[in-house]
Structure 1
Amino acid sequence: MIDARRGVLFPDRMPQFHRLAPTPAAAELVSWFWIPEWDLPAGAVSRQDVVAYPALNLVISSEGAQLVGPTTKASFRDLTGRGWAVGALLRPAGAAALTAQPAGLRDAEISLSAPALVDAVTAAMAGPERLTRVVEIVSAWLAEQKGVISDADRDANNMAEVLMTDDRVRTAEQAAASLAMSLRTLQRMTHRYVGLPPLMMIRRRRLQEAAQRLRDDPASDLSALAAALGYADHAHLTADFRTVLGMPPTRYRAEQ
């Protein structure tokens, strides 16, 4: 099971946060829904730092709907005032319903023309049982956009599950072998459905786990942690950490 909080770098700074499963109609399209709500004092700013999962997200707020592409580095969003967002972490089959070129959205986002969806979600968030209703609304909308789910879509879902959850897979070659496909086929599949190469997806999973372990056990020995996660050495882990998160693991640990 993928941990929804793993990519949040400073969980204690998060506003009210909900994680919900999709309806059965969208189970092959969405990993989970994430719904933050916040109500901050005037002038206050809450910065949310995230090292996102290697996937696309559908994000809906009262201002509109966006398709957010996969990221290559940690990102942040500053929250102010009062508000909410409804996000869906898309599985590859779900991403394919909204774009044929996820690589073109790398470190970018686009607006989606879905006024009826935005209006329905906005109304639901103001009413009773808001969380259940928005999940039902967005799940039904995505299922309608997708239509028939192909065998290729399901193969891509399985691919992403292996790359994002299987700790035994540490190289693209190992992933290809686990999925019983050639390395070239795996590379084409991740490009078509996610927009990132397989090794980058594996590295993201390992970095997320490294950050989570440092949060859970600040006394962790970095050399032992690097070895446990399959890094060549402490320096390799530090270089990856600095490249993606913008800071070395020692600083990240000190900021918890």
Structure 2
Amino acid sequence: MERDPRELGGAWRAAQRHTFAEPSGEPARYVARYWSVTWEYERPYRQLVVPLPNVHLSFRDGRAEVHGPSSAHVYRELSGTGSVFGVAFRPGMFRPFLGGPVARLRDRTIDATAVFGAALPTIADVDTVERFLRAHLPGPDPRADLAARVVAAIAQDIEVTRVETIADRFGLSVRGLQRLFAEYVGLGPKWVVRRYRLHEITERLAGGTEIDWAGTAAELGYADQAHLSRDFRRIFGEPPTRYAQRYDAR
């Protein structure tokens, strides 16, 4: 398929604006960040969206939706002029709002009122949403806090390449960790480990670092470069060298 030149070298920035804000007060226990995207396209653009183990609450065109954690990339069509505002919940911390296993939301989008009720605003900004969340915070859930700590440890420690490593660190069996993730994260711990290790690659690409693919595969716990490329393509939709073309040349 012929490549859309708007995908290359950071050209998408000419038509899109992304902003982020940090949560404050008690909502910060549950929320990783607030985000917004605005765009203007004369002809439709196919936006690649790559997954992380967050649940998102989004507001667009008067509709509020909850997006469960995605196990693979998706494409969303952007056309004309539009905007969306969203809340990214910390991995593990949406379960107290949902009242059931987050695995039920995997790769699904539902009407947000099914979780938050009819009082949820449909047109939102940081102040509006944070005020709503502050008034509707769930009770404490130590298991949610544990799940959030485990995911944070995976994200921050590049040396975590095996599920057994992180299970041992938190005094859990592998099976116990799998049950915790099904209930609170919605994706398996092996997937989360792989996703964050592949995130190391995209961070380096964004920073203009030249990648030694064979060496990076070994560093991130892959048997060889082919296994890394296979996982990368499954999550990001294209092989690493093609994905690298999306970033500015340095």
TM-score (normalizing by structure 1): 0.82
Written as runs of structure 1 = structure 2, the 5 A alignment for 1:144-159 is: 144-159=135-150
Q: Which runs of 5+ in 2 are unaligned?
A: 1-7
Written as runs of structure 1 = structure 2, the 5 A alignment for 1:46-65 is: 46-65=45-64
Counterpart of 2:210?
A: 219
CA distance in 1, matches of 2:83, 2:22: 18
| Paired amino acid for 2:112 | L
CA distance in 2, matches of 1:53, 1:21: 18
Residue 88 of structure 2 aligns to a residue whose secondary structure is: strand
CA distance in 2, matches of 1:145, 1:184: 33
Counterpart of 1:111?
A: 111
CA distance in 2, matches of 1:255, 1:28: 33
The 3 A distance-change label for structure 1 pair 143 and 157 is farther
Counterpart of 2:192?
A: 201
* Shift in Å, 1:64: 0.9
Deviations 1:2-28 (A, max 9, x none): xxxxxxx98652511111111212011
The 3 A distance-change label for structure 1 pair 245 and 37 is same
Length, aligned pairs only: 235
- Taking only the aligned residue pairs, the percentage that are identical comes to 32
TM-score (normalizing by structure 2): 0.84
* Shift in Å, 1:151: 2.0
* Shift in Å, 1:77: 1.5
The answer as to whether partners of 1:19 and 1:35 remain within 8 angstroms in 2 is yes
Written as runs of structure 1 = structure 2, the 5 A alignment for 1:1-256 is: 12-14=11-13, 15-38=16-39, 40-41=40-41, 43-91=42-90, 92-113=92-113, 114=117, 116-119=119-122, 121=124, 134-217=125-208, 219-256=210-247
CA distance in 1, matches of 2:206, 2:12: 13
| Paired amino acid for 2:22 | A
The answer as to whether partners of 1:21 and 1:31 remain within 8 angstroms in 2 is yes
Residue 100 of structure 1 aligns to a residue whose secondary structure is: coil
CA distance in 2, matches of 1:57, 1:119: 15
User: Which structure has greater helix proportion?
Assistant: 1
The 3 A distance-change label for structure 1 pair 197 and 137 is same
| Paired amino acid for 1:212 | E
CA distance in 2, matches of 1:10, 1:26: 36
CA distance in 2, matches of 1:10, 1:99: 43
The 3 A distance-change label for structure 1 pair 65 and 168 is same
The answer as to whether partners of 1:55 and 1:89 remain within 8 angstroms in 2 is yes
CA distance in 1, matches of 2:226, 2:28: 40
| Paired amino acid for 1:32 | R
Q: Which runs of 5+ in 1 are unaligned?
A: 1-8, 122-133
The answer as to whether partners of 2:94 and 2:102 remain within 8 angstroms in 1 is no
The answer as to whether partners of 1:31 and 1:89 remain within 8 angstroms in 2 is yes
Indicate the RMSD between aligned Cα atoms, in angstroms: 2.4
Structure 1 moving runs of 4+ over 4 Å:
9-12
CA distance in 1, matches of 2:203, 2:28: 26
The 3 A distance-change label for structure 1 pair 107 and 250 is same
Residue 43 of structure 2 aligns to a residue whose secondary structure is: coil
| Paired amino acid for 1:230 | G
The 3 A distance-change label for structure 1 pair 214 and 13 is same
